[in-house]
Every structure is written in structure tokens, then in C-alpha cells.
Amino acid sequence: MENIGINLPLLLAFLINFVILFVLLGIFLYKPALKMLDQRQAKIREGMEQTELIKQQAARAEEQVREQLESARKEGQTMIAQSAQMGEKLKGEARGEARREAELLIARAQDEIKRQSDETINELRREFVDIAITAAEKVINETLDKPKHRHLIEEVLEKDTTFGKN
């Protein structure tokens, strides 16, 4: 082999050195590098899993927030509806109270009108009695017993007014 320019002992030494170097590199460099790459791969996988868990948690939290917002919106609408109903109820109560007060005022006014009407009728009766007595005195030219005749005329008027009412 020397003819082709290869020194066999030197080649064997290179081969032994290469194998020793390869074994040493495998033990001291390749295995730790593989171990480090495996650890790194495990960390990346773990990070990806955590990222996926965080995404799922975020999605759940977002869904919960959406549900809470929907619940709050419904509750707000319910409160608005209740407020509107309460307002309508209060308006109805106020109308009823106003109606009752108006009816009470009308009843009082009617009572007052009836009382004044009765007073006016009584006053007119008294005046009519006085006029009738005065007229009768002038017709017969004598003084009449006013209290007695007043009583008679009031009885006649009372009978006439009760008769006309029935």
C-alpha cells in the first residue's frame, strides 16, 4: 500500500484516533447534546400544552363573561320592565286617587248646592207666606193672625210640594 502512497501504520493510527474521537464525542458531546435537545423538546411540548390549556381557559373565561353579560343584560331588561310596570301601577294609583278626590269634591259640591238650594227654597217659602198674608190682609182689610195663617200656608205648601214630588 505504500506504492499508492498510503502508510498503513499511520492509517491505522488515524483510524484508531478517529474511532476514539468518535467514541469520546459520542460520550461527551453527542449524548449531552441529545439530552439537551430532548429536554428542550420536552419544554417546548410542555409550553405548547400550557399554551393550549391557557387558550381553553381563556375561551371558557370568555364564555363565562359572555354569559354573565347576557345575564346582566337580561336582569337589566327585567329591572326596566319592572320599573315600567311599577310606573304604570303608580300612574294608575294616582289616577284612581285623583278620581276619588274629584268624586269627593263633586259630592261635596252637590251637597253644598243642595243645601243652598234648600235654603233658597225655604227663604222663598217664607217670603211667599209673608206676601200671601200681606195680600190677604189687603184683600180683606183686616189684620190677620200672622202666626196662625203662616202655619196654615206652610202646611198647604208642604202638601203641595210633597204631592208634586211623588
- Tell whether the model's pLDDT for residue 61 goes beyond 60: yes
- Residue 36 parent element (H or E): helix 31-140
Rounded distance, CA 124 to CA 10, Å? Answer: 163
Q: Domain count for the chain, please give it.
A: 1
Q: Residue 88 falls within a domain, yes or no? A: yes
Tell whether 1 is covered by a domain. Answer: no
* 56 has a pLDDT exceeding 60: yes
- 137 near 144, Cβ under 8 Å? yes
Residues 6+ positions from 157 with CB-CB distance below 8 Å: 125, 128, 129
Residue 55 lies in a domain: yes
Range of the domain at 142: 8-165
Residue 130 has pLDDT above 90, yes or no: no
Mean pLDDT over residues 118-122, rounded?
A: 88
Examine the pLDDT at 162 and tell me if it is beyond 70: no
| CA–CA gap between residue 14 and residue 8 (Å, rounded) | 10
In a domain, 53, yes or no: yes
pLDDT at 160 over 90: no
> Shortest CA distance to 31 belongs to which of 39, 42, 1?
39
Residue pair 154/125 in contact by the 8 Å Cβ criterion:
yes
Residue 43 lies in a domain: yes
| pLDDT over 70 at 41, yes or no | yes
Mean pLDDT of the region 69-77: 94
Asked, for residue 142, whether it belongs to a domain, the answer is yes
Which of the two residues, 7 and 95, has the higher pLDDT score?
Answer: 95
* pLDDT surpassing 50 at residue 133: yes
Average pLDDT, the chain: 86
Between 3 and 112, the more confident residue is 112
Give the confidence band of 142 by pLDDT, cuts at 50, 70, 90: low
Nearest to 134 by CA among 149, 121, 155, 122: 149
**The pLDDT value given to residue 164:** 45
Count of other CB atoms within 10 angstroms of residue 129: 19
Residue 83 included in any domain: yes
Distance (Å, whole) CA 64 – CA 75: 16
Q: Kindly tell me if the per-residue pLDDT of 136 is higher than 80.
A: no
**DSSP secondary structure code for residue 142 in this structure:** S
Predicted pLDDT of residue 141: 58
Q: How deeply is 79 buried, as exposed, middle or buried, from its count of CB atoms within 10 A (0-12, 13-18, 19+)?
A: exposed
Position 85 scores a pLDDT of: 92
pLDDT at 63 over 60: yes
